[in-house]
Amino acid sequence: MPADTTVLHDPGADVDDDVPRDLRARPVGSDRVFVGVTRGVGIFVFVLVSAIGVFLGIQSFPTFSHYGFSFLTGSRWLPSQDIVGISAVALGTVTVAVIALVIAIPLAIGTALFITDWAPARWRGSLVGVVDLMAAVPGIVFGLWVLLLVQPHAAHVTHWISQHLGWIPIFEVRTDVDYPIWDQAPGYPSYAGSAAIAAIAVAAMIFPMATSVMREVFAQAPVGEKEAALALGGTRWAVVRDVVLPFGKSGIIGGGMLALGRALGETISVVLVINQAFELKIRVLESGTSTISALIATGYKEATPAQLSALMTAGFLLFVVTLVVNTLAAAVVARARSGAVSEL
């Protein structure tokens, strides 16, 4: 027979003993220094970026007051004749950036997935180091690489595309594609110095950034779900397709947007490759285009005060677009890292 047990209640006990206490950590010593320095750096960066935006905005007033809305709609850039329009240059900027994304993003996704899910563990550190080192290569190196090595071969590829897909407007080239010496057809532009070839140099520059962001997000895919999929008989590709890619889709978007922000402002590699032309052109394989950053780099040194104001206005537009793109990308990547978008 079980012993009789009696629960005694202390009438003086506090009825709120089960309420969790409010724990507040007080930073001390090095913690305060770290928080203060980090906050100071953040404020400094914010003030610096804001000051750049305000400066460019003030420098843009003379151009907008003189040319008005025609500055945004005009396509010709002839400051010596008082004709200035940014639409052709803006279109060239977007064209080069979009083609660079089309080239770089699939390569970045494949590389990031290989590092996180296929590469042997002993190789991963070296592969990560090689990809990260690519980000440190100066733009002029990529520009020279494309100009001297890639362009002669890439021109054959663009010629083949124009031969077989020239009926699509963006792949059309205003030349006789069946001319025996096709790159020297009289009176017609060549295939060199096009937006498509310039985009190869830009793609090589944005590839490491996109790969780094995607790899970091892919590596955070839930291990339990991956192991469960393998235990159910799924292949490695099935695990990647059904677990890693759905989890990392915001990392792909964020990495792509960060790469887009970098591609929009790339300068020296584009200047070395393109044949500068101020024309509203959707034919990406045809020689001749321009970007805002390339325009500023080539025209700044010899610009008069009025021309300098026009270049500053172009830079202000590029600054605003790049700032918006990078801000949105940072927000997407931050959500991916926090797991807020995980559907698993």
**Is the pTM value of this prediction over 0.85?**
no
CA distance 58 to 51: 11
Give the three-state DSSP class for 276. strand
Q: Residue 83, SS3? A: strand
Q: Say what percent of the chain tops pLDDT 70.
A: 85
Angle, vertex CA 74, rays to CA 324 and CA 82, nearest 5 = 115
pLDDT of residue 31: 79
pLDDT 10s digits, 75-99: 888 877 878 888 889 889 999 999 9
Question: Phi-psi category of 288—alpha, beta or left, where left has phi over 0 and alpha has psi -120 to 50?
Answer: left
Residue 33: band (very low, low, confident or very high) from pLDDT cuts 50, 70, 90: confident
Torsion on CA atoms 71, 73, 76, 81, rounded to nearest 10: -40
For 217-230, what is each residue's pLDDT tens digit? 898 888 888 888 88
Domains of the chain from N-terminus onward: 31-338 (1.10.3720.10)
What are the helix (H) ranges across the chain?
A: 30-67, 70-73, 87-113, 121-134, 139-145, 151-165, 195-218, 223-231, 236-239, 245-247, 249-264, 268-273, 292-299, 305-338
101: nearest Cα among 227, 216, 204, 217: 204
- pLDDT above 60 (res 1): no
